[in-house]
A and B are shown apart, each in its own frame.
Chain A
Amino acid sequence: MEDALIAILESFKYPVYRQGSMSNDTAYPETFVTFWNNDSPDHAHYDNAEYGTEWDFNVYVYSSDPTMTYSLLSDIRAALKAADWIVPSKGFDVASDEATHTGRGIQCVYMEF
């Protein structure tokens, strides 16, 4: 499922990283995307067997252009929804290591059966 998410994120042609994976000496690109898998619990049980997985990710956009932080996240949200991901909000602020960049994130969940 992570591959499917990355494919959607990469379709926007900005660098995609796992949250926390950038080294201290790597400069932030002007605009980029990160993701993090929060959890992937069994969706439910029937006869003690899992019959689905709830893939719970966060996606973050960081940019030196605050307008882009909002607009790219909004476009990603639309693309995820079109691919049947559940995206329960329009986003929230997140911390950036660089004062030049702002960051925002969304939670997205995919129910795999």
Chain B
Amino acid sequence: MARKKLFVDGEVFGQYAQQLYKLSSMEFLKETTEKALMESKAYVTEKLHQDMKKHHRTGRTEASIDDDSGVEWKGTLASIKVGFKISEGGLPSIFLMYGTPRIEPPDKKLYNDVYGAATSRKIQEIQREVFDNALRQVMEEK
């Protein structure tokens, strides 16, 4: 799993979603959710690109970073993929992030870019800002 899905945390943003839906429309709520996920992905992806620079040999692993997949909806659940595409040359990222029984994980930073607690907190901060701004925009238009 060198790629994972990011979500908007319902426990944190449930109230925002309800307020936005009441004050605007389902379309605007959907648009805001997608913006929150796209900005979260941009944050993680930029860090991955930065931290892959030191592993640069052929550039193939860095090129496998998922820059382009968009938001996926399953019913009311939205997600976006971040990380490396294994089928497109991202296999070494598994080694870099997890190591093997004989080799310590060579790059803790790369792992934490995707799975670390600091990243989770930053993503929550980014998403909160997007929802705050959307709510402010709707209130100002009223």
Contacts and interface: CB of A to CB of B under 8 A. Distances in A.
Interface of A: 17, 19-24, 28, 32, 34, 36, 38-39, 41, 54, 56, 58, 60, 62, 89, 91-97, 103, 105, 107
Interface residues of B, number: 18
A20 B103 contact: yes
A89 to B, nearest CB: 7
A39 B116 contact: yes
Interface in B90-118: 94-95, 98-105, 108, 111-112, 115-118
Contacts of B102: 20, 22-24, 97
Given A39-B117, A54-B117, A92-B1, A105 B101 contact: no
B45 to A, nearest CB: 19
Contacts, number: 70
B95 A19 contact: no
B111 A93 contact: no
State the 4 A-B residue pairs at the shortest beta-carbon distance, nearest first: A20-B104, A92-B1, A22-B101, A94-B98
B100 A56 contact: no
A107 B111 CA distance: 11
A22 B99 CA distance: 12
Contacts of B1: 89, 91-93
Contacts of B116: 38-39, 41, 56
A20 B99 CA distance: 7
Contact of A95 (B100, B104, B111, B118): B100
Contact of B103 (A32, A97, A107): A97
A20 B105 contact: yes
B100 A97 contact: yes
B98 A96 contact: no
B104 A38 contact: no
